[in-house]
Amino acid sequence: TRKRPEFKKRPGSRLQNATLAGFYQNVRGLNTKLTSLWHQAPHITYDFLILTETWLSDRLNTSELGLHNYNVYRCDRSSSNNSFKSRGGGVLIAVASSCRSYRWQSADNAEHVFIILPDCKVILGCTYLANYQPVSVLEAHLDELDTVSDAFPGFDVVLAGDYNIPGIEWDSWNVESQPPHLGPRGRLLHDSAR
């Protein structure tokens, strides 16, 4: 069985001795899995869920997901965050209702969502960056990440998602040395991580 990842809370948090348990998955479309999700949702015990490639749109009400014990924050694909493709993409973060959370209001220029957990001093972020998008979309995402993390100094940041950037080998990612074969997006991401 898989071990649940645990994210320790920072010292000074009201919940100092606790941990957060999270789950991340690229779901490759939720629309065809709604019945299964509806049946499984009452049994999910994670503090937060991070899902990419949800393929959701405004035609589906969030309540139809069946995540009634969670506050659900979505960023569905739209013409403002992806003018190249109308289908696919989309990200979602669901936070257990027992954990205080709110959405960081960001510009709608990338498929990403950032959620603040003030009692835990944690920022959750999820993004979907398609490999065909221009460097400006990654720049917008990184600018927003800088803005939200600057607004909450001392908060831990948990990022998950699909960073489809050609030239990056995630298994051997090293911020200390930049691989020579990186394209502009890869160099930008590498430089921002340093």
Strand partners, 160: 126
Residue 71 φ then ψ, to 5°: -90, 120
Nearest Cα to 76, choosing from 64, 63, 59?
A: 59
pLDDT of residue 130: 84
pLDDT of residue 131: 81
pLDDT of residue 3: 42
pTM listed for this prediction: 0.81
pLDDT of residue 185: 60
For 17, 20, 131, the CA distances from 6, given in Å and listed in that order, are 12, 6, 30
**Domain boundaries along the sequence of the chain:** 6-163
pLDDT of residue 73: 98
Question: Euclidean distance between the first and final Cα of the chain, in Å?
Answer: 34
pLDDT of residue 14: 44
Task: Identify the segments of the chain with pLDDT beneath 70.
Answer: 1-18, 78-87, 108, 166-194
pLDDT of residue 23: 95
Strand partners, 156: 122
Q: Which two tokens stand for residue 191?
A: 């430089």
CATH class of the 6-163 domain in this structure: alpha beta
Q: Which two tokens stand for residue 108?
A: 């709608």
